[in-house]
Amino acid sequence: MIDIKFLRENPDVVKENIKKKFQDHKLVLVDEVLELDKKNREAKLKGDDLRMRRNSLSSEIGNLMKSGKKDEAEKIKVQVQEINKELEENEKLEAEYSTQITERMMKIPNIIHESVPIGEDDSKNVEIEKFGEPVVPDYEIPYHADIMESLNGLDLDSARRVAGNGFYYLMGDVARLHSAILSYARDFMINKGFTYCIPPFMIRSDVVTGVMSFEEMDAMMYKIEGEDLYLIGTSEHSMIGKFKGQILQKADMPYTMTSYSPCFRKEKGAHGIEERGVYRIHQFEKQEMIVVCEPEDSWKWYDKLWSYTVELFRSMDIPVRTLECCSGDLADLKAKSCDVEAWSPRQKKYFEVGSCSNLTDAQARRLGIRIKGEKGNYYAHTLNNTVVAPPRMLIAFLENNYNEDGSINIPEVLRPYMGGTSKLVPKGKQL
């Protein structure tokens, strides 16, 4: 959510930003907010005037009573009662205007960074840089589900019977590999100086609306029926929510945290959930990183965060590239975002395995996350980035480490988490 003072002083800038995001239907919100804001400020001034009159009359009543002029005092009491009624109605009006302003402000997108490329959708995203040489071997690489099944590590049929499409059973070496990657990612981020955290896997609605737009919430979140609780779609939600309503000390900044959690997503509006494979699923596990920092430091942290994901993947010999998200592909709260994509030698193209975002003060305003400054309190900036999200990441891992005989190489950095294993062998084969 942007600063209403900024909107009040720069309505044309806000409107131009909306146009850059190809959300022209939201242009009317700016004028509506300006009109409601004007009425709200008039109501507040009227309320202040009514209170001053009431206080003045109340003092006069006291003086009259002391002087024994009870009848005159009673007449003024009637005036005070009328003011109280008028004040009550005015306060209701103030509350109504404030609610209407907030509802509209929550729908107006954050101001995007000047470097964001302008485009309608993800087809206009721009490649920034490649890391590692993408290789296509001279032998066929099977579909990732087939590789997992050859290792006796995936059971989709049973998962469908138990929960439906979009769920899976990982077993044996594949399940161990999945956990090994998460454990390695955890230690990787701890070694970068981040504090490890396991957060709540459910959050209340006021946290949900603080960390994302209403459209995202509807498309992603599973609600617990009968309770004010939602299953998290990413641990960023509960990690940023940890600071809700807090005034942070400047000396404690920045907060850098890495978290493990399961994630649950409806994937509403997606192109269907695959019956085979684990690319688009309702449930997965993820290692995430978040930063809460001083406003002037957020862009420095943005570059650090995505570089950590690149470094992690390259340490496992997986080629990746970074992709700048265009204006139309940015969620409303994001000022700038880039995707990290891993190379798929089977498909001969890159695919998304992580996303890094700077939300500037948009989440902090919604959640009331402020820093105590010498000249007053101000809003923090928040950032988030995927460290690694298996089992999707397993697709890139298995394809890039697949040998012609069907075995899978285990990079050196993962071997301590795999009991020293250097290679996975398909069932029925002995190498």
Q: With 70 as the cut, is the pLDDT of residue 35 above it?
A: yes
From 69-73, 123-127, 184-188, the region with the lowest mean pLDDT: 69-73
What is the rounded distance in angstroms from the CA atom of residue 78 to the CA atom of residue 195?
62
Q: Tell me the CB-side half-sphere exposure of residue 272, using CA atoms within 13 A.
A: 4
Helix (H, G, I), strand (E, B) or coil at 75: helix
* Sign of the CA dihedral running 85, 90, 95, 99: positive
Looking at residue 218, its pLDDT comes to: 81
Q: What is the pLDDT of residues 368-426, one digit of tens each?
A: 999 999 889 999 999 999 999 988 899 999 999 999 999 999 999 999 999 999 999 99
Q: Across 62-66, 77-81, 361-365, which has the greatest mean pLDDT?
A: 361-365
**Residue 155: CB atoms within 10 Å:** 16
CB contact set of 338 (below 8 Å; sequence gap of 6+): 128, 306, 322, 323, 324, 325, 355, 356
What mean pLDDT is reported for the chain?
93
DSSP 110: P
The two structure tokens encoding residue 342: 């891993």
Flag whether pLDDT at 351 surpasses 70: yes
Instruction: For 71-124, write each residue's pLDDT tens digit.
Output: 888 888 888 889 999 999 999 999 999 999 999 999 999 999 999 999 999 999
CA distance 390 to 177: 10
Region of poorest pLDDT, from 105-114, 168-177, 263-272, 358-367: 263-272
Check residue 77 and give its pLDDT: 87
- The order of strands in the sheet holding 349-358 is 126-131, 320-324, 336-344, 349-358, 381-388, 283-293, 255-264, 195-197
pLDDT tens across 259-289, in order?
999 999 987 554 545 557 898 899 999 999 9
Please give the pLDDT value at position 275.
57
CA neighbor of 300 nearest in space, from 247, 260, 253, 342: 253
Quick one: which of 358, 384, 382 has its CA closest to 370? Answer: 382
| 3 state DSSP class of 293 | strand
pLDDT (0 to 100) of residue 153: 96
**Residue 71: what pLDDT?**
81
Q: pLDDT at position 214, please?
A: 76
With a pLDDT cut of 90, the percent of the chain lying above it is 84
- Range from 128-132, 219-223, 319-323 carrying the lowest mean pLDDT: 219-223
Check residue 73 and give its pLDDT: 83
Q: What percent of the chain has pLDDT over 70?
A: 97
CA angle 331, 262, 387 (to 5 degrees): 60
Cβ atoms within 10 Å of 343's Cβ, excluding its own:
26
Mean pLDDT of 10-33: 97
pLDDT of residue 61: 83
Global pTM value: 0.90
Residue 309 has pLDDT above 80, yes or no: yes
- Reported as type and span, the H/E element at residue 61 is helix 27-66
**Residue 165 · residue 352 · CB < 8 Å:** no
**Domains of the chain listed by start with CATH number:** 4-105 (1.10.287.40), 122-424 (3.30.930.10)
**171: how many CB neighbours lie within 10 A of its CB?**
15
